[in-house]
Chain A
Amino acid sequence: MDVINIQGTDDTPNVILDKASGQFEISGRSLPEDVNMFYEPILDWIDQYSTDPNDHTEFNFKLEYFNTASSKVILDILLKFEELAEDGKEVVIKWHYHEDEEDMLEAGEEYADIVEIPFDYVLYTD
């Protein structure tokens, strides 16, 4: 399967999706002008991954900031992994948040309320 490796910018996140090495990560800032355009290839990749997923998927979100339009797409991503979990695959979300960013922890907790996947909260400092 192809590897997605997108370098982040001022308004778009770093994205690594690599089935072979088991690396799944979205990090940085997400406030693109057109969320659909930016996230479409990522959602497509996840759909393809879902047809033949690893037994264990650990997905890392290490976001510094995301706008509300991105928050909707993040939920879409999580819902796709929820389906995998329902199919008996092991899925864990590692939700990283900066020590100065309580709002980011709360955002993770809100997602955890909505989707039925285990969340691990990981605190980081600069």
Chain B
Amino acid sequence: MSREIESHRFLDFAYQLYKTMKTNEINLVYEGEVTQDITKTFTSLTERNMAKSEESNQVQRKVFNVMVECLQNISKHADTLSDDDEDERRGIVMVSRGDDSYKIITGNVIKNAKIPGLKESLEHINSLDKAGLSSLYKQQIVESKISEKGGAGLGLIDIAKKTGSKLSYQFKELNDEVSFFILTSTIKRN
């Protein structure tokens, strides 16, 4: 009997999830390891969906660009809950299409010690206008070196430049060591 209830609950959950996704026009949800192959798969999937929906080329290109940077941020910077699987870069990825905009929401575990620095970068980026972002980008590209992980520290600036929207973010503390970092990038549809 209890097994039946369990399976009912699961089916109900699957249905609720489906409904929520439909109502909110969520095109993609993923939780798991984020690798280069996953990045390529999601970007081409999203590209195909947009092409079918006859989204304007400009918007399609921006969504593609921002997705790549968000996913590569996770695959380069995500921390883990335990030290055992340190090399695994996991996260969640959601893409939704609203009437006015696309939203790309990514989430990953981050060490609490890194939060102040990241917050400072995000706030600084959000305080700048288009020209300010452009000069920060130029300064950063000249000064930066490619890290061991292959990042240039330009991803967030690039997202802000290309979307023309403020980066929306949250940190949810999980324990003394780590938090969950959620970043929402908004791409206007016209």
Interface residues of A (CB under 8 A from B): 10-11, 31, 33-36, 65, 67-69, 71-73, 75, 98, 100-103, 106, 110, 113-114
How far is it, in angstroms, between the C-alpha of A101 and the C-alpha of B64 when the chains are bound? Answer: 12
* B143, chain A: closest CB distance, angstroms: 10
Query: Which residues of chain A are within 8 angstroms of B155 by Cβ–Cβ distance?
Result: 68
Chain B, range 45-78, C-beta contacts under 8 Å to A: 56-58, 61-62, 64-65, 68-69, 72
Q: Which of A11, A34, A68, A100 contacts B152 (CB 8 A)?
A: A68
Partner of A67 from the list B62, B68, B137 (CB cut-off 8 Å) is: B68
CB of A68 within 8 A of CB of B150, answer no
CB atoms of A101 and B152 under 8 A apart: no
Residue interface bits B113-150, CB-to-A below 8 A is 1, else 0: 00000000000000000000010011001101010001
Partner of B65, one of A33, A103, A114: A103
On whether A34 and B61 interact (CB within 8 A), knowing A67-B69, A67-B72, A113-B138, the answer reads no
* Contact indicator B152/A71 (Cβ below 8 Å): yes
Is A35 a contact partner of B40 (Cβ separation < 8 A)?
no
Point out the residues of chain A lying under 8 angstroms from B56, CB to CB.
Answer: 100
Please report the C-alpha to C-alpha distance between residue A114 and residue B152 in the assembled complex, in whole angstroms.
17
- When the two chains form their complex, are residues B58 and A35 in contact, meaning their CB atoms are under 8 A apart? no
B152: which A residues are within 8 A, CB to CB? 68-69, 71-72
Q: Is the interface of A mostly helix, strand, loop or mixed?
A: helix
**Nearest CB on B from A31, distance (A):** 5
Q: Is the pair A31, B72 in contact by a Cβ cutoff of 8 Å?
A: yes
Interface size on B, residues (CB 8 A): 30
CB distance from A98 to the nearest CB of B (A): 8
Whether A103 lies near B162 (C-beta < 8 A) is: yes
Nearest 3 CB-CB pairings of A with B: A68-B154, A100-B57, A33-B36
- Across the interface, B150 reaches (CB within 8 A) one of A34, A65, A100, A110, namely A34
B62 near A103: Cβ-Cβ < 8 Å: yes
User: Are A69's CB and B58's CB within 8 A?
Assistant: no
Contact B134 A110 (CB under 8 A): yes
CA distance A73 to B134 in the complex (A): 18
State the Cβ distance, B159 to closest chain A Cβ, in Å.
9
Q: Compute how far the CA of A106 lies from the CA of B161 in the bound complex, rounded to whole angstroms.
A: 10
Residues of B with C-beta under 8 A to A101 = 58, 61
Bound: A103/B146 CA distance, A:
22
B44 near A: Cβ within 8 Å?
yes
Residues 141-190 of B at the A interface (beta carbon under 8 Å): 141-142, 144, 146, 150-152, 154-155, 157-158, 161-162
